[in-house]
Amino acid sequence: MTAALSTHGLVARYGDFQALYGVDIDVAEGEAVALIGANGAGKSTFLRSIMGLLPVTPDMVRLDGKPIGGTPTDRMVQNGVAIVPEGRRLFTGMSVDDNLRVAVDQADRFGRKGGWSLERLHRLFPILKDKARTQVQNLSGGQQQMVSIGRALLSQPRVLLCDEISLGLAPKVIREIYAALPEIRAQGTAIIMVEQDVGLAQSASDRLFCMLEGRVTLTGASATITREQIAAAYFGGSHAVV
Amino acid sequence: MQWFDALIQGILLGGMYAQYALGMALMFGVMRIVNVSHGDLVILLSLIGISLASAWGLGPFTVMVALVPLAVAMGWLLQKGILNRVVGDDPLPSLIATFGLSLALQNLMLQIWSANSRSLPGGGIESQSVQIGGIYIGLLPVIVLAFATGLTWGLDLMLKRTRFGRALRAASADVEAASMTGINARAVYASATAIAVGILGFAAVFQSLRSTVAPADGGAQLIYAFEAVIIGGMGSVWGAFIGSMVLGISQAIGFRIDPGFGVLAGHIVFLLVLATRPQGLFGKA
């Protein structure tokens, strides 16, 4: 399988503070990989670097082998990489429908074709149809997350980055949202998910990457990786707990 | 009857204020950019229009046809050249940059046109009126109000219904999230400012038809535009229109009470709205 998106020695810094020290992660078409790690490990920074929100060199991020690192964020979306950002980042003061239409508009503008339409999204998350006219700030957290995922899907991405989509949601809602992932992947869309819940990350992904202090400390098939391996990689070797 | 007349004249005056306020509603109300040079741009466009009219003997509506595209180009350049460098969560940089621009424009205008007051010859429409039930209604103010209503309607529709309007509202709500949705926020902002200043092309023609303009007059138009937007409520185009009416009516009634009280009456009503309903008449709390 060739990688849809891959990073090569990705380095990122905020001013003098270096956050990532050469991260190599790849995801194939239709594959889901999970990125776990403690707070401050650099998971969100990694996703933001891919999206062109932090300066990186072209060779550090490749889409279908073509170097695209550091491309402005809006053009990254046109290239087929979309993100469900941390904290959802919906357009406050606009209705659910308008939030989603913004993504449809931009996909139309660049003639991006894909399998996603408002109708299909309404089948995936029926509540979005009922709440179409509601302003997004009046939705529950789970509904907001569905809008955020929907907005990203309507960009017709080939690679979808999900930044902690379960954060702050009730277990029932989390199950509902994660139940949508297989349909997204069936489309051929590759998913890189950052997830706090290790169990959830393991069950929803094909492969797992664990990060610690800006480096990847563990890589493997999600189904075969053990809790002990994860604990060691998560906290660093010397702090391993069994 | 006298008060009813004041009400009618106030609404007509509000039509003029609405033409300043619409661009402000877009830039300040929606994009949250403070453009201190707003009034000076009206005056600059007015003076250019007056010079065009006297050089080639153009009528006011021909001047308008020339002035609006020029205003659009000026707005686009303003955003591309200056404002795109300073936009962000902090409103202070755009305020300082446009304050500097305001001073520069005023002095540039003094240099070119001197401090004399000028006006645009309207070929008679500025003095025509009709009498309805004892009230004289000027033809020009009615035209001004009609243009203001049309522009408000068009701008509101554009914001709510078009791809561009949705992209602009999205970028105003969260620039970074907008870029994550594929929006080129700088390009959208450049177009929006082009539209906002473009509307001032209409305002400039009407302003110089109904009264005189001089290089230092911009400050008053700026204040009226700000007040109308705040009375109406941030982010609402029809709110800015109604805010302009409130301001016009307050001033017209103030003028009837005492000729020196008119402008002050408008400011007092503005302050009362700010004190009792700071989110504006149509704003959300």
Residue B119 gets the label, from left (phi > 0), alpha (psi -120 to 50) or beta, of beta
Yes or no: say if B102 and B218 are a contact pair by the CB < 8 Å rule: yes
| DSSP state letter for B19 | H
Cβ–Cβ gap B163/A109 under 8 Å: yes
Structure token pair of residue B219: 């400050």
Identify the residue whose tokens are 């239409």.
A101
> Beta B135-138 vs B129-132: how paired, if at all?
antiparallel
Residue A114 and residue A110: Cα distance in Å, rounded?
Answer: 12
Name the CATH topology of A3-239: Rossmann fold (3.40.50)
User: What are B130's strand-pairing partners?
Assistant: B137
Domain range list for chain A: 3-239
* pLDDT tens series, chain B, 285 aa: 788 999 999 999 999 999 999 999 999 988 888 899 999 999 999 999 999 999 999 999 999 999 999 999 999 999 999 998 887 778 889 999 999 999 999 999 999 999 999 999 888 888 898 888 888 899 999 999 999 999 999 999 999 999 999 999 999 999 999 999 999 999 999 999 999 999 999 999 999 999 999 999 999 999 999 999 999 998 899 999 999 999 999 999 999 999 989 999 999 999 999 999 999 988 765
Structure token pair of residue A77: 């979306």
pLDDT category of residue A237 using cuts at 50, 70 and 90: low
Nearest to B180 among A51, A99, A101 (CB): A51
pLDDT of residue A127: 95
pLDDT digits (tens, 9 = 90+) for A137-152: 999 999 999 999 999 9
- Single-letter amino acid code for the residue at B2: Q
Nearest to B180 among A83, A92, A94 (CB): A83
What is the CA A152 to chain-centroid distance, rounded?
A: 10
> Beta A26-28 vs A159-163: how paired, if at all?
unpaired
pLDDT of residue A241: 47
Structure token pair of residue B99: 């304050």
In chain B, helix, strand, coil percent, each to 5?
Answer: 75, 5, 20
Residue A240 has pLDDT above 50, yes or no: no
Burial of B86 (0-12, 13-18, 19+ CB in 10 A): middle
What is the CA A93 to chain-centroid distance, rounded?
A: 25
In this complex, is the C-beta atom of B237 within 8 Å of any C-beta atom belonging to chain A? no
pLDDT category of residue A3 using cuts at 50, 70 and 90: confident
> Hey, what domains does chain B have and what are their CATH numbers?
6-114+137-276 (1.10.3470)
Q: What angle do CA B61, B64, B65 make, to 5 degrees?
A: 95
pLDDT category of residue A242 using cuts at 50, 70 and 90: very low
Of the candidates A221, A211, A200, the residue with the CA atom closest to the CA atom of residue A24: A211
Average pLDDT value for residue range A195-218: 94
pLDDT of residue B32: 87
Yes or no: say if B20 and B203 are a contact pair by the CB < 8 Å rule: yes
pLDDT digits (tens, 9 = 90+) for A170-195: 999 999 999 999 999 998 999 999 99
Yes or no: say if A39 and A231 are a contact pair by the CB < 8 Å rule: no
What is the CA A17 to chain-centroid distance, rounded?
A: 24
Phi, psi of B230 (to 5 degrees): -75, -40
In this complex, is the C-beta atom of A218 within 8 Å of any C-beta atom belonging to chain B? no
In this complex, is the C-beta atom of A207 within 8 Å of any C-beta atom belonging to chain B? no
pLDDT of residue B133: 84
B183 contact residues in A (CB cutoff 8 A): 74, 102, 106
Average pLDDT value for residue range A202-221: 94
pLDDT of residue B35: 93
Q: According to DSSP H, which parts of B32-138 are helical?
A: 38-56, 60-78, 84-86, 92-113
Of the candidates A191, A241, A239, A242, the residue with the CA atom closest to the CA atom of residue A213: A239
ipTM: 0.91
Q: What angle do CA B251, B256, B258 make, to 5 degrees?
A: 90
pTM, rounded to two decimals: 0.91
How far apart, in Å, are the Cα atoms of A148 and each of A53, A83, A96, A142, B178? 18, 9, 10, 10, 12
In this complex, is the C-beta atom of A133 within 8 Å of any C-beta atom belonging to chain B? no
A98 contact residues in B (CB cutoff 8 A): 166, 169
Q: Which residues of A176-192 are buried (b: 16+ CB within 10 A; e: fewer)?
A: bbbebbeebbebebbbb
Secondary structure element (H or E) that encloses residue B223, with its range:
helix B218-232
Interface test mutation site (partner B, options A73, A86, A134, max chain B beta carbons within 10 A): A73
B185 contact residues in A (CB cutoff 8 A): 74
In total, chain B counts a number of residues equal to: 285
Cβ–Cβ gap B178/A102 under 8 Å: yes
User: What are A17's strand-pairing partners?
Assistant: A14
In this complex, is the C-beta atom of B161 within 8 Å of any C-beta atom belonging to chain A? no
In total, chain A counts a number of residues equal to: 242
**Chain B residues 60-119 with CB within 8 Å of chain A:** none
